[in-house]
C-alpha cells in the first residue's frame, strides 16, 4: 500500500514536471526572424500586406515588433505617446487595440511568432526626447542631473546616449510589468523582448541606490527579475546580447560589446533568456560563446548583405563542426531594421532609395542564404 502511494506520488511529480517543461514556449528549430518598429496607425494595412507578401513567402517565423509606447495601453494611458493623429484631434497616433489585433491575426495566419518589444532599463530617451516613462515618473531616472539637450550630439560631456531607469527604484517594476502583461496579452503571445541593449547609464555614482554596486550584477539582476516575471506567465524573455560581451577582450568596443563592466553578467543571467547577438560590421564568434554558455542565440545582421552571408556561413560551419550541447542553442537569424516601418516598406517597393547600404538587399540575401541550409 505504502509502495503504491509512493508510486502515485512519483508519477504525479513526473507528470507535473512534464507539464512544467511543456508549458515553456518552444522556439522554431531555426528562427527566420525579422525585427522592425511597429508601423504608424496609417501604415497598418500596408504592413499587413507586407507580412502576407514578403515575410510569409520567405518563411519568416518570428516577428519582433518594437512597440514601446506606441500602443494605447489601458493599464497606463499616461504612458501612451501623446502625439495626435493627423487631421484628427480626438485620436492619438499610438496603435489602437483594433489595429494591433489586425497585426496579431496576420501573424497567426502564417504561424509567425509575434515578439513585442518594450525597451526596459535602457533606451528611456532618444536624442532630445525623453520617453513617456521618465517624463511621467521622473523619480525613476537613473541620472536626473543630466538635462536633455536642445541639440543632441554624440559624444557629449554627459556621455548621454539614452537615459535609463533606476532598476533599484522600488516602484518602477510594478508599472513596467503592467505594460509587459498588457502587451503580451494583446499580442496573444508567450514571448516578450525587453531590449536591454546599449545600457550605458547603470550603477551611476550619482544614484543613491546604485552607487558603488557591481554593474554586472545590477544588469543580471534586472534581466533575471524581468525573466522571472515573464517565466511566471509561462513566457520567454528575449534581449539583445551586447551588454554580456566583453568589448575590450573581443575588441568589439562599447556599442556591440560592453566596456562599462556589465559583461560578467553572462555568468549570472538565467540560461533560458533568448539572446539576439547583433553585429552589423563583421561576423565575430560571439554567438558561439553564447551557445557554449547554454543560451539559445540568434545572429542578427542589418544592412550589409556580405556580412549576413558571412554570418550564415559561420553559422553553418559551427553547426557542422560542433557535436556538443552548444549546437542545439544555435537557433537561427533575425534581420534587423533600424528605420521606421514606413521607410522600410518604401525602400522595399522602390518609392524611396536607401543611402549607401541596403537593408532590403541584406534581408533578401539573408533569407535566400537560409533557404540553402
Shortest Cβ 142–Zn ion spacing (Å): 5
Nearest-CA neighbor of 319 among 363, 359, 287, 355?
A: 287
CB of 117 to Zn ion, least distance (A): 23
Using the rule CB under 5 A, which residue among 114, 134, 176, 207 binds Zn ion? Answer: 207
Residue (222 or 369) nearer to Zn ion, CB: 222
Residue closer to Zn ion (CB basis): 209 or 309: 209
User: Which residue in 36, 63, 166, 300 binds Zn ion (CB under 5 A)?
Assistant: 166
At residue 334, the 3 state secondary structure works out as: strand
In the complex, the smallest distance separating the C-beta of residue 164 from Zn ion, rounded to whole angstroms, is: 8
For strands 129-130 and 125-126, give the pairing. Answer: antiparallel
Closest CB to Zn ion among residues 215, 303: 215
Q: Which of 210, 223, 298, 307 binds Zn ion (CB under 5 A)?
A: 210
Q: For residues 170-207, b (16+ Cβ closer than 10 Å) or e, as one string?
A: eebbebbbebbbbbbebbebbbbbbbbbbbbbbbbeeb
**What cell numbers appear for 263 in the block?**
559583461
* Position among 101, 173, 209, 292 found at the interface with Zn ion (CB under 5 A): 209
The total of other beta-carbon atoms located within 10 Å of residue 330's CB is: 20
Give the CA radius of gyration of the chain.
Answer: 21
With contacts defined by CB under 5 A, name the span among 73-81, 85-93, 128-136, 140-148 that binds Zn ion.
140-148
Q: Which is nearer to Zn ion, 207 or 341 (CB)?
A: 207
172 forms part of the interface with Zn ion (CB under 5 A): no
Q: Which CB, 110 or 209, lies closer to Zn ion?
A: 209
Contact 220, 162 (CB under 8 A): no
**82 or 139, CB closer to Zn ion?**
139
How many Cβ atoms sit within 10 Å of the Cβ of residue 314? 16
- Residues contributing to the site for Zn ion (CB under 5 A): 142, 166, 207, 209-210
Amino acid at each position: 500500500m505504502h509502495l503504491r502511494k509512493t508510486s502515485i506520488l512519483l508519477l504525479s511529480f513526473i507528470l507535473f514536471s512534464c507539464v512544467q517543461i511543456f508549458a515553456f514556449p518552444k522556439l522554431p528549430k531555426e528562427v527566420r526572424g525579422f525585427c522592425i518598429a511597429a508601423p504608424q496607425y496609417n501604415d497598418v494595412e500596408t504592413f499587413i500586406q507586407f507580412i502576407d507578401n514578403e515575410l510569409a513567402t520567405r518563411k519568416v517565423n518570428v516577428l519582433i515588433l518594437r512597440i514601446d509606447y506606441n500602443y494605447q495601453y489601458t493599464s497606463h494611458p499616461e504612458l501612451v505617446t501623446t502625439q495626435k493623429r493627423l487631421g484628427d484631434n480626438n485620436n492619438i497616433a499610438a496603435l489602437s487595440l483594433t489595429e494591433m489585433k489586425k497585426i496579431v491575426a496576420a501573424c497567426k495566419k502564417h504561424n509567425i511568432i509575434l515578439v513585442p518589444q518594450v525597451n526596459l532599463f535602457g533606451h528611456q530617451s532618444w536624442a532630445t526626447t525623453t520617453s513617456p516613462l521618465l517624463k511621467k515618473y521622473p523619480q525613476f531616472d537613473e541620472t536626473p542631473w543630466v538635462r536633455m539637450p536642445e541639440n543632441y550630439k554624440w559624444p557629449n560631456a554627459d556621455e548621454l546616449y539614452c537615459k535609463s531607469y533606476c532598476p533599484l527604484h522600488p516602484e518602477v517594476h510594478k508599472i513596467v510589468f503592467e505594460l509587459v502583461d498588457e502587451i503580451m496579452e494583446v499580442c496573444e503571445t508567450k514571448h516578450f523582448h525587453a531590449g536591454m541593449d546599449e545600457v550605458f547609464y547603470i550603477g551611476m555614482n550619482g544614484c543613491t541606490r546604485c552607487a558603488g554596486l557591481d554593474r554586472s550584477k545590477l544588469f543580471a539582476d534586472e534581466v533575471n527579475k524581468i525573466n522571472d516575471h515573464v517565466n511566471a506567465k509561462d513566457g520567454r524573455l528575449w534581449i539583445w546580447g551586447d551588454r554580456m560581451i566583453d568589448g575590450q577582450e573581443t575588441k568589439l568596443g562599447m556599442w556591440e560589446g560592453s566596456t562599462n563592466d556589465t559583461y560578467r553578467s553572462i555568468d549570472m543571467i538565467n540560461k533560458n533568456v533568448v539572446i539576439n547577438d547583433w553585429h552589423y560590421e563583421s561576423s565575430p564568434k560571439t554567438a558561439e560563446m553564447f551557445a557554449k554558455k547554454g543560451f539559445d542565440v540568434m545572429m542578427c545582421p542589418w544592412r550589409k548583405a556580405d556580412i549576413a552571408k558571412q554570418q550564415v556561413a559561420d553559422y553553418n560551419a559551427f553547426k557542422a563542426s560542433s557535436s556538443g550541447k552548444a549546437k542545439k542553442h544555435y537557433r537561427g537569424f533575425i534581420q534587423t531594421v533600424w528605420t521606421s516601418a514606413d521607410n522600410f516598406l518604401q525602400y522595399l517597393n522602390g518609392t524611396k532609395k536607401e543611402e549607401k547600404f541596403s537593408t532590403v538587399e541584406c534581408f533578401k540575401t539573408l533569407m535566400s542564404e537560409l533557404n540553402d541550409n
